Amino acid sequence: MSDDDNFQVEGPDLAEDDPMRAFLPTSFGKKSKEADISAQLERSKRPTEKPQLEKGKEIQQRPNSSSDAGKDSDDDDNDDSDDSEDEAEYPTSHEMVIKTHDRAVTSVSLDPAGGRLVSGSIDCTVKLHDFASMTPTTIRAFRSVDPYQAKASAASEAHPIHHVEFNPLAGSMFLCVSAHPQAKILSRDGDVITEFVKGDMYLRDMNNTKGHVSEITTGTWHPTDKNLCVTAGTDSTLRIWDINNKRSQKEVLVFKSKALGVAGRSRMTAVAWGAPAQGGSNVLVSAALDGTLVMWSGNGPWSRPAAEIRDAHKTNTWTGGVDISSDGRMVVTRGGDNLIKLWDTRKFKEPLVTVDHPSTSDHYPTTNIKYGPNSASIITGSTTGHLHILNPGNLSAEYTTPITPGKPLVTVNWHPKINQIVTGSANGETHILYNPNMSTRGAKDVMSRAPKKRHVDDNPEFTTDQSLGLSGDAIVAPGALSGSRKAGVTASGRSKDPRRPQVQQITPFMRNQPDSKHVSENIPLSKMLYEDPREALLKYADLAKKDPKFTGAYADTQPVTQYAEVSDEEDEGPDKKRVKR
């Protein structure tokens, strides 16, 4: 057969509209699949219809200006144009949904670069998400952390997460606050860096305790010092910590309530620490359960507050949201009395503006309120699952959009660098709102990547240990992990060589016992156990002679002890026994 012969491949004779054509190949060889970015972004677009809110249940939208006063009788086309203008002004046209928690999401935070997301939930876990490793079909957390799993001996001892927040000056760590007296500093990979000490609960004076003696409700970072953070507890104190010293707080701010029936103490429910962007003294503002709003000067003194407003919100209602504007002049609070109030730090006596807003603090105390980038807007959630963008001057609703209809929207955050809004809802969903024309990186990059073919082995929740944070593609050398079996040892821990002693097994009881490293790091003066007391006292012998501690009035008049001088060569005396009479 020569090469000049023509070959003809006979294909199936099918009609043009035959559905079997969808299962037949159209060409030979490897086919390259490229992602249709525009189609993927179109699928993530949110519905554009405007929600119909019942009057009296949500914040009434701001009335139109004088030029728009005659638009009430216009047709629906003008309403659609207004909606499109609002969507173009705010990054809410598209969204990415992350469903990694089993219960309500109480707190969300993005690192300063906007590349990593951390979320806390009532399910007692902290989820870490990395935008660089996610695709439209693999939206999941790369690690799940239970900050108190090492201490808990049973599942019932886990603690719900109240607050998580990345360090705004150092994105390598974040603050984790749960329903526990000890707050923790975790790395961006979920490893515990610092655990602050717990105070003595039997001391009455809170100024003498080295840490919180009861549950911590929230916390935040210092605006200009990356080593300082503050935590608010139910023991009526705010405590400023240096992350390099975990044994004791740096400062204690004791709040003495003046309300009736609280015995001088009240739970601290919210705290905010802000500094003017153009420079100047920073301000520390906190809210208490008795309705008091307290302001301290961020640089001290801490003995008494700079200003205090009694009955700022209704007594015994949880004020969970407090935030300070970027210029350090305005403070916005959201209380459990269904009110949002705007305050001026220069005239910290009466609220400038007060509006009605249904509160969710009865079921979700961590409901917050936040200033947007450059304090041009204020965002918060609602009981109906809507996101409200408010005017920072009069607190009127400029834009309202549904996120999780029927499920309360608990926490919100607006990242200024990537210009995306992150929300956490009561149904365990985390929504990231963005606009392809206004936002950068983050969820926009995730939805622009080619979808990855799904496989059960690609999900690290099924194939790896989430507590170690190992991805599905990680290569682990034998014996590299702490729990791996040592060479020359059987499964029961007995050595293969009969001449070697048996390896001691670590039982759960032994695992809970403190080792020498734990004792030396956490117990003060523990190193004195290994010192010789005689040598320790002799170090101060010369100092005691030269500089007596108490008094030197009788140093010259003290009698000198005289001893008999006896040498070894001399006879010590007659070696005679005394005669008994």
Q: Give me the domains of the chain, ranges plus CATH numbers.
A: 88-463 (2.130.10.10)
pLDDT at 484 over 50: no
Structure tokens at 85: 């203008």
Cα separation, 48 vs 423, in Å, equals: 19
Write out the DSSP string of 43-102. Answer: HTBPP-PPP-PPTTTSPPBPPP-GGGGGGTTS-HHHHHHHHHHHHHHTT-SEEEEE---S
Tell me how far apart the alpha carbons of residues 359 and 316 are, in angstroms, rounded to a whole number.
14
- Tokens representing 527? 């190193």
Burial class (CB in 10 A: 0-12, 13-18, 19+), 108: buried
Contact 120, 100 (CB under 8 A): no
Q: Which of 35-39, 113-117, 131-135, 296-300 has the lowest mean pLDDT?
A: 35-39
Q: How far apart (Å, rounded) are the C-alpha atoms in residues 245 and 543?
A: 32
Instruction: Give 403's pLDDT tier (boundaries 50, 70, 90).
Output: very high
Residue percentage of the chain with pLDDT more than 90: 44
pLDDT > 50? residue 67:
no
Half-sphere exposure of 216 (CA within 13 A, CB side): 30
Nearest to 12 by CA among 23, 1, 2, 3: 23
In this predicted structure, what is the pLDDT of residue 44? 86
Residue 185 phi, psi (nearest 5): -110, 120
d(CA 216, CA 175): 12
pLDDT value, residue 539? 85
Least confident of 251-260, 436-445, 495-504: 495-504
Report the pLDDT value the prediction gives residue 304, as an integer from 0 to 100: 85
Across residues 467-476, what is the average pLDDT?
A: 53
Q: Does the pLDDT of residue 381 top 90, yes or no?
A: yes
- 553 vs 15, residue with greater confidence: 15
* pLDDT the model gives residue 483: 46
In the structure encoding, which two tokens stand for residue 255, read together?
């709040």
Average pLDDT over residues 414-440: 93
Whether residue 317 is predicted with pLDDT greater than 50 in this model: the reply is yes
Highest mean pLDDT among 353-367, 462-476, 483-497: 353-367
CA separation for the pair 482, 506 (Å, rounded):
13
Q: What is the DSSP letter of 304?
A: S
Q: What does pTM read for this prediction?
A: 0.71
Distance of alpha carbon 93 from alpha carbon 341, whole angstroms: 29
pLDDT at 286 over 90: yes
Query: What's the confidence (pLDDT) of residue 299?
Result: 80
- The CA distance from 49 to 277, in Å, is 38
**Does the pLDDT at position 473 exceed 80?**
no
Query: 145-149, 359-363, 438-442 — which one is most confidently predicted on average?
Result: 438-442
Across 63-91, average pLDDT: 51
Assess contact for 241 and 230: CB atoms under 8 A.
Answer: yes
Q: Dihedrals φ, ψ of 229, to 5°?
A: -145, 165
Q: Which two tokens stand for residue 486?
A: 């040592």
Tell me the two tokens of residue 246.
């975990």
Cross-strand bridge partners of residue 397? 61, 390
Q: Which of 262-271, 305-314, 391-400, 408-417 has the lowest mean pLDDT?
A: 262-271
H or E stretch including 334?
strand 330-334
Average pLDDT (176-185) is: 94
> Is-contact 197 180, C-beta < 8 A?
no
pLDDT of 535 reads 86
Mean pLDDT of 166-189: 93
- Cα gap 450→416, rounded to integer Å: 27
Mean pLDDT of the chain: 80
Has residue 340 got a pLDDT over 50? Answer: yes
What is the DSSP track for 187-236? Answer: ETTS-EEEEPPPP-TT-S-GGG-SS-SS-EEEEEE-SS-TTEEEEEETTS
Diameter over CA atoms, the chain: 148
First to last CA, the chain: 146
Least reliable range by pLDDT among 282-286, 363-367, 403-407:
363-367
Distance separating alpha carbons of residues 161 and 126, to the nearest angstrom: 8
Q: Tell which wins on pLDDT, 560 or 84.
A: 560
What sign has the CA pseudo-torsion 440, 442, 447, 453?
positive
C-alpha 161/C-alpha 217 separation (Å) is 9
Confidence of residue 576 (pLDDT cuts 50, 70, 90): low
Residues ≥6 apart with Cβ < 8 Å to 39: none
pLDDT at 63 over 50: no
- Mean pLDDT over 491-507 rounds to 58
Q: What is the DSSP string of 403-450?
A: SSTTS-EEEEEEETTTTEEEEEETTS-EEEEE-TTT--STHHHHHHSP
pLDDT of residue 91 exceeding 50, the answer is yes
* Residue 392, both tokens: 């920072």
Q: What is the pLDDT of residue 58?
A: 42
C-alpha–C-alpha distance, residues 44 and 381, integer Å:
21
pLDDT band of residue 64 (cuts 50, 70, 90) is: very low
The amino acid at 134: M
CA distances from 4 to 1, 7, 9 (A): 8, 9, 16
Q: What is the pLDDT of residue 402?
A: 93
Indicate whether 92 pLDDT > 50. yes
Candidate from 111-115, 152-156, 349-353, 400-404 with smallest mean pLDDT: 152-156
Flag the least confident range among 330-344, 408-422, 485-499, 519-533: 485-499
pLDDT at residue 54, rounded to an integer: 39
SS3 of residue 425 by DSSP: strand
Q: pLDDT tens for residues 190-202?
A: 999 999 999 998 8
Question: pLDDT above 70 covers what percent of the chain?
Answer: 72
User: What pLDDT score was predicted for residue 474?
Assistant: 56
Q: Quick check: 342 pLDDT over 90? A: yes
Q: How far apart are CA 225 and CA 282, in angstroms?
A: 11
What is residue 521's three-state secondary structure? Answer: helix
Given a cut of 50, whether residue 395 has pLDDT beyond it is yes
Instruction: Transcribe 230-259 into DSSP letters.
Output: EEEETTSEEEEEETTB-SS-SEEEE----S
**Nearest-angstrom CA–CA distance, 20 and 42:** 29
CB contact burial 510-520 (16+ within 10 A = b; e otherwise): eeeeeeeeeee
* Residue 470, phi then psi, degrees to nearest 5: -90, 130
**Confidence band, pLDDT 50/70/90 cuts, at residue 168:** very high
